[in-house]
Amino acid sequence: ATGFCFFVFIKGHDQEMQKAAILGLGHYVPERVVTNDDLAQMFDTSDEWIRQRTGIIERRYVEDGTGPADLAVQAANKAVEAAGISLSDIEFIIFATLNPDYFFPGSACVLQEKLNLPGIGALDVRNQCSAFIYSLSIADSFIRTGMYKRILVVGAEVHSSGLEFSDRGRDVTVLFGDGAGAVVVGATEEDRGILSTHLHADGRFAQDLWIEIPAARLFPRVTNELLQEGRHYPRMNGKKVFKMAVEKLPEVIHEALEANGFTIDDISLFVPHQANLRINEYVARQLNLPPERMYNNIQKYGNTTAASI
């Protein structure tokens, strides 16, 4: 809720300053496939109920003992290979996640150790579903100013270990899956690159999608009573989140288009966050976009938040 709206516009441009571009992409999902029918064995739901409301058919879950940094290693190695560089060329790591491996240190530091890249900067970005775009905007700025030449931006999530597999938690639990995505962002002289990023948030709606505990504002940060009430599980006001998404996503798309002198018709492909297929379908209709111009894969992976895009 604190980072509900995000859009990045990528194309060639004519600016004199150093340009930043995505040089390579990689992704990784766990092998374990969890279908809607599998979830129906755990609590009161059905394949039909989940498909109608979310469009999701299946998602991936990790095995015990696997954290987001473990998933990120796989995605990062693929992105580095696709970029045609070596891991040693990476000068900075930005890790987008709402599910860090530990309360602290950040998952970027955990990933840095796993990639054997001691000494380089490592930053976590905790902006939930929009964290990847926030991270990309930081990398873009670092590259443009000449501070770094090669930055690894990763979004990785392990939701499955923090979901409530019961009737009380089903509305949230059916949505989420585990996975990781990574890009290498670097300086380029080619006629392509990140044109602009447009970032928004509204903390007034923080409690419409949140995990309340553990919380530093509480002493102690967690109690047995709070655990029994399920306040360590994610909670969502689904109707409010849906309404906000279908209102704000078209707004920020138009903002990005106008900032760069383009119209809807100029864009070959839109790649939205994968929160709910019905949200993306609704937005596509608002923009008069045919299905082939609005990319969706939530059917196979669920919502992987910072890893989605």
DSSP string, 23-87: EEEEEE--SEEEEHHHHHTTSS--HHHHHHHH---EEEEPPTT--HHHHHHHHHHHHHHHHT--G
pTM, two decimal places: 0.93
pLDDT of residue 15: 44
The single residue of 36, 109, 127, 273 carrying the catalytic annotation is 273
As a whole number, the mean pLDDT across the chain is: 95
Helix then strand then coil, % of the chain, to nearest 5: 40, 20, 40
Structure tokens at 149: 């030449």
The sign of the torsion formed by the CA atoms of 205, 208, 214, 220 equals positive
Read off φ and ψ for residue 165, nearest 5 degrees: -90, 75
Read off φ and ψ for residue 236, nearest 5 degrees: -145, 140
303 assigned to active site: yes
pLDDT at 5 over 90: no
Read off φ and ψ for residue 186, nearest 5 degrees: -150, 170
* Tens of pLDDT, residues 144-190: 999 999 999 999 999 999 999 999 999 999 999 999 999 999 999 99
Going from the C-alpha of 270 to that of each of 203, 206, 289, the distances in angstroms are 27, 27, 9
Question: Angle 133-58-299 (CA atoms, 0-180°, nearest 5)?
Answer: 55
Contact 12, 192 (CB under 8 A): yes
Spatial distance between the Cα atoms of 306 and 294, rounded to a whole number of angstroms: 19
* Tens of pLDDT, residues 60-105: 999 999 999 999 999 999 999 999 999 999 999 999 999 999 999 9
109 assigned to active site: no
- Evaluate the omega torsion of the peptide bond into residue 220 and state whether it is cis, within 30 degrees of 0: yes
The predicted model gives 44-56 an average pLDDT of 98
The single residue of 36, 127, 129, 159 carrying the catalytic annotation is 129
Spatial distance between the Cα atoms of 16 and 24, rounded to a whole number of angstroms: 23
pLDDT of residue 41: 98
273 assigned to active site: yes
